[in-house]
Structure 1
Amino acid sequence: MKILVIGPSWVGDMMMSQSLYRTLKARYPQAIIDVMAPAWCRPLLSRMPEVNEALAMPLGHGALEIGERRRLGHSLREKRYDRAYVLPNSFKSALIPFFANVPQRTGWRGEMRYGLLNDARVLDKQAWPLMVERYVALAYDKGVMQSAKDLPQPLLWPELQVNEGEKAQTCAAFNLDASRPIIGFCPGAEFGPAKRWPHYHYATLAGRLINEGYQVVLLGSAKDKETGNDILAALTTLQQAHCRNLAGDTALEQAVILLAACKAVVTNDSGLMHVAAALNRPLIALYGPSSPDFTPPLSHQARVIRLISGYHKVRKGDAAEGYHQSLIDITPERVMDELAALLTAGKEV
């Protein structure tokens, strides 16, 4: 069986979609799974053994461009896919499998996709509370799974593969101290500071960890560089020698490998949080207005700290520098205690 997947366009969603690929491969071991997604996804897809080929989606996230989607679909006809799974809920995302003449095109009904999908599922959000469950449900025939409770347990969570040689080589390339275990910080988050644990809390935690013999590596996009610099500036001169701000200085491929090399990771609700979870790193995930109820980190080594309930659509908090009070109220001491417990549990395994 040849399968085409139209994948998501966000890091976290792409990571969770691996659960679908793993489930399909478990059900159909001979299946060949190709995933069409933005080119930046290749470093993630290349580390998913279930994926045969990453097909670059050249169109931007919001571009309709029906003519170009028709051309892409026609170019895929020679691959003769048997099935397609469309993971985004948009109309435009269902066009390419339709133009590719894929016989069975599966996805949640979404926006006006009648005809484009001939195996459209009606989503009951109460029955499928987690995004990962909604992805995995598509691996089964329509009507077989009525709710998340019907899915075989445990779910096959995302697992990225990184080897020891890659870790050593990449750490050396960034001149990291081989004598100090690495704690990774992912202090950024999309949509502004309201989803971020304050930089001064990160700095306090970094100082304690450095004093205990760790080194701290800050990871993220170029947009997170300033936040990383704020963390560095709050450390003493001696502590700064053991804290590296690599936000914006790594390609996604390198960030994945560096996360895999970490002894543990402390992170906001972000795409890199889901990458760290898929690497099975001991993980502290800090939540404020956004909720872990829909897209939690999928790892038994993850601990979520959140002081409020429900989802709050907040782009900028009311506190100083745009932080949300619920994240300010998570103390570095609380995070340090949770982190120490995770690290101790890891030593006992």
Structure 2
Amino acid sequence: MKILVIAPSWVGDMMMSQSLYQTLKAQWPQATIDVMAPAWCRPLLARMPEVNQAIAMPIGHGSLALGDRYKLGKALRHNHYDRAYVLPNSFKSALIPWFAGIKLRTGWLGEMRYGLLNDHRRLDNAAFPLMVERYIALAYEKSNVSRATDLPKPLARPALTVSQREILETAALFSLHADRPLIGFCPGAEFGPAKRWPDYHYAALAKLLIAKGYQVALFGSAKDNEAGAEIIARLSDDEATHCINLAGKTELDQAVVLLAHCHAVVTNDSGLMHVAAALNRPLVALYGPSSPDFTPPLTDKARIIRLITGYHKIRKGESDQGYHQSLINITPQQVASELNDLLANVQEHECAS
């Protein structure tokens, strides 16, 4: 069986989509799964053993580009796919499998997708509260799975592959200290500071960890580099020698490898949080107005800290420097305590096993 997946365009969603690929391979071990996604996703897809190849989606997110989608679909016809899975809910995302003439096209009903999808499911949000459950459910006949409780357990979890050789070579490339265990910070987040734990709290936590013998690496994109610089600026000169700002200085694949090298990760609700979870790293996830109820980190090695409940609209500038008050109220001492307890539990479990 040859399968084409139209994948999502966000890091976190992309990571959770791996659970679908794992479920499909469990059902059809000989299946070939190709994934169409933005070119930047290739480093993630290359580390998913279930994926045969990544096909670059050259059309920007939000652009209809009907003619270009037709050309893409027509070019895919020679691959003779047996079925397609469309993970985004938009009309345009369902066009390429239709143009490609793929006989069975599966997805949740979204905006005007009758006909484009001929194996469509009507989503009941309450029946499938987690995004990963919605992805996995598409692998089964809709008559057999009407709610998340119908899904076979345990649910497949994202798992990226990284070799020890890659870790050693990449750590040396960025001059990470071999004598200090590494703690990763992911201080960035989409939608600006409203989803971010304050930089000054990250700096205070870095001081505590460096004093205990750790080194700290700051991960993120180029737009997170300034936040990383502000964190390091709050450290003493001696402390700063044990904290490196990698935001915007690594390729995505290098960031994945270095996250795999981390002893633990402290992170905002972000795409890199899901990457760290897929690397099975112990992590402390910090939530404010966004909720972990829909897209939590999919790992047993996570501690979630959130001081409020329910959904809160994300607004810029409603608190100090744009930070949400609920995130300001999470103290560095609280995070350090959770991190210490998490690492102790992980070590105890590993020794017992």
For the superposition of Structure 1 and Structure 2, which TM-score range results when normalised by the shorter chain? over 0.9
Shift of 1:317: 4.5
Partner of 1:230: 230
Partner of 1:104: 104
Q: Within 5 A, what are the aligned runs for 1:131-210?
A: 131-210=131-210
Q: For residues 99 and 60 of structure 1, what CA distance do their matches in structure 2 show?
A: 18
Partner amino acid for 2:285? A
Q: For residues 273 and 186 of structure 2, what CA distance do their matches in structure 1 show?
A: 8
TM-score (norm 2): 0.98
SS in structure 2 of the partner of residue 14 of structure 1: helix
Q: For residues 315 and 70 of structure 1, what CA distance do their matches in structure 2 show?
A: 38
Does structure 2 conserve the Cα–Cα contact (< 8 Å) formed by 1:288 and 1:306? yes
Shift of 1:237: 1.0
Q: For residues 207 and 70 of structure 1, what CA distance do their matches in structure 2 show?
A: 55
Partner of 2:94: 94
What are the superposed Cα offsets for residues 94-120 of structure 1, whole Å, 9 maximum, x if unpaired?
000001110000000000011100011
What are the superposed Cα offsets for residues 229-271 of structure 1, whole Å, 9 maximum, x if unpaired?
1100111111000000110111100110010000000000000
Partner of 1:335: 335
Shift of 1:319: 1.9
Q: For residues 109 and 344 of structure 1, what CA distance do their matches in structure 2 show?
A: 45
Asked if 1:248 is matched to 2:248, the reply is yes
Q: For residues 144 and 347 of structure 1, what CA distance do their matches in structure 2 show?
A: 40
What are the superposed Cα offsets for residues 258-300 of structure 1, whole Å, 9 maximum, x if unpaired?
1000000000000000000000000000000000000000000
Shift of 1:345: 1.8
Does structure 2 conserve the Cα–Cα contact (< 8 Å) formed by 1:7 and 1:88? yes
Does structure 2 conserve the Cα–Cα contact (< 8 Å) formed by 1:274 and 1:297? yes
Unaligned runs of 5+ in 1: none
SS in structure 2 of the partner of residue 333 of structure 1: helix
Cα distance change, pair 339–161 in 1 and its aligned pair in 2 (3 A): same
Partner amino acid for 2:14? M
Shift of 1:302: 0.7
Displaced runs of 4 or more, over 4 A? none
Partner of 1:324: 324
Partner of 2:18: 18
* Alignment RMSD (CA, Å): 0.7
Partner of 1:345: 345
Partner amino acid for 1:334? Q
Aligned residues: 349
SS in structure 1 of the partner of residue 159 of structure 2: coil
Partner of 1:113: 113
SS in structure 2 of the partner of residue 300 of structure 1: coil
Does structure 2 conserve the Cα–Cα contact (< 8 Å) formed by 1:193 and 1:322? yes
Does structure 2 conserve the Cα–Cα contact (< 8 Å) formed by 1:317 and 1:325? no
Q: Within 5 A, what are the aligned runs for 1:206-285?
A: 206-285=206-285
Does structure 2 conserve the Cα–Cα contact (< 8 Å) formed by 1:221 and 1:248? yes
TM-score (norm 1): 0.99
SS in structure 1 of the partner of residue 267 of structure 2: strand
Q: For residues 286 and 182 of structure 1, what CA distance do their matches in structure 2 show?
A: 19
Partner of 2:61: 61
Q: For residues 304 and 285 of structure 1, what CA distance do their matches in structure 2 show?
A: 5
SS in structure 2 of the partner of residue 51 of structure 1: coil
How much identity, in percent, do the aligned residues show? 70
Partner amino acid for 2:320? A
Q: For residues 315 and 242 of structure 2, what CA distance do their matches in structure 1 show?
A: 32
Does structure 2 conserve the Cα–Cα contact (< 8 Å) formed by 1:187 and 1:267? yes
Q: For residues 317 and 65 of structure 2, what CA distance do their matches in structure 1 show?
A: 37
Q: For residues 71 and 240 of structure 2, what CA distance do their matches in structure 1 show?
A: 53
Q: For residues 66 and 315 of structure 2, what CA distance do their matches in structure 1 show?
A: 33
SS in structure 1 of the partner of residue 48 of structure 2: coil
Q: For residues 131 and 100 of structure 1, what CA distance do their matches in structure 2 show?
A: 27
Partner amino acid for 2:194? A
Partner amino acid for 1:99? F
Q: For residues 167 and 343 of structure 2, what CA distance do their matches in structure 1 show?
A: 19
Q: For residues 335 and 286 of structure 1, what CA distance do their matches in structure 2 show?
A: 9
Partner amino acid for 2:187? P
SS in structure 2 of the partner of residue 132 of structure 1: helix
Partner amino acid for 1:33? I
Q: For residues 265 and 174 of structure 1, what CA distance do their matches in structure 2 show?
A: 18
Unaligned runs of 5+ in 2: none
Shift of 1:346: 2.3
Q: For residues 32 and 147 of structure 1, what CA distance do their matches in structure 2 show?
A: 27
